Structure 1
Amino acid sequence: MNNIPRRIVTGIKDGKSVITEDQQVENAVEHFPGLIISDIWNTQKTPATLDFEKRIPNTGFPQTPKNGTYFRYVVIPPDKDLGVELKKGEPHPMMHKTLTLDYIIILSGELHLIMDEGETLLRPGDIVIQRGTNHAFNWLF
């Protein structure tokens, strides 16, 4: 499983900020072969409470709390590793809709973001703002 570092800078000790955590995440879950999802941090409400620290449990795929946030690290494998078969004229088998506002940053690799109408190639450094719509990701290699 991927080594996913997490560093939490928070709290005040003698009037100074401190690093309260510097370790690999413990809750990385492999949902399908190669599809790894880890919830790095969450907030339960907006505005976030900055003096409250909560460890994120080792869970499947939790739903984002109403008015809260989740920061997720996701590794997307090639479609062939997931056993996904694309059929001409049909939606991508992994097409789904989330009721969340997602901020996506591509760190490595290339993949296609597929929408109901159209798609675009994403490369390292690309940023996507996904606003609660149908979408899928396709990595052919």
Structure 2
Amino acid sequence: MKPIPRRIITGIKNGKSIIEKDAIVSNVSEHFPGLIISDIWSTDSMPVKLEEEKVIENTAFPHTPKKGSYFRYVQIPPDKDLGIVTPKGQPHPLMHQTETLDYIVILSGEIWLIVDEGETLLQAGDIVVQRGTNHAWSNRSDLPCIQLAILLDAEK
């Protein structure tokens, strides 16, 4: 699987559907070596304005726009490649909590989803509905894990 995705955007011209853009994503960041994040698309309203494209800056932990969304591509390298070590009884160093409803699909590889009281191994094809919980991702394998995530603004 490619570490940087190709993005195709459709549109309408003269009443006909067209391919407006077809290119490798340019909005890519690498916050840690091998941790590749690309925010593919963003919205800031509901219902969505179809003709609008938002250029957004990648952040490790985004602030999803109010009444909006992020569509995010993430490649997570093995913990050992990032130098991440979690001492017994300690929380994972990348634990975080977002104020979003996230739909996450594991495309390739495997990764552990860690929450305050438990963890589970996810593999390609698995889907997570993450509802604003404290969590971390731990790649204990030897290969990168690629996931797609749709982050929706949420209320608690």
TM above 0.5, yes or no, is yes
Map 1:120-135 onto structure 2 (within 5 A).
120-135=120-135
Could you tell me how far 1:86 is from its partner in structure 2? 1.1
**Once the two structures are superposed, what CA deviation does each residue of 1:40-66 show, in whole Å capped at 9, x if it has no partner?**
001011111112233x24x24142111
Higher RCO, 1 vs 2 (CA within 8 Å, ≥6 residues apart): 2
Structure 2, unmatched stretches of 5+, are 142-156
The answer as to 2:13 corresponding to 1:9 is no
- What does residue 30 of structure 1 align with? 30
- What does residue 105 of structure 1 align with? 105
**Once the two structures are superposed, what CA deviation does each residue of 1:83-124 show, in whole Å capped at 9, x if it has no partner?**
111110111111110111111000000111011111111011
- What does residue 114 of structure 1 align with? 114
1:80 aligns to what SS in structure 2? Answer: helix
Aligned equivalents of 1:88, 1:53: Cα separation in 2? 45
TM-score (norm 2): 0.83
Aligned equivalents of 1:53, 1:30: Cα separation in 2? 23
1:107 aligns to what SS in structure 2? Answer: strand
What RMSD in Å do the two structures reach over aligned CA positions? 1.4
**Once the two structures are superposed, what CA deviation does each residue of 1:1-35 show, in whole Å capped at 9, x if it has no partner?**
9231101112x223211111111000110000111
1:22 aligns to what SS in structure 2? Answer: strand
Aligned equivalents of 2:100, 2:48: Cα separation in 1? 17
- What does residue 83 of structure 1 align with? 83
TM-score (norm 1): 0.92
Map 1:34-49 onto structure 2 (within 5 A).
34-49=34-49
Aligned residue pair count: 138
Aligned equivalents of 1:3, 1:112: Cα separation in 2? 22
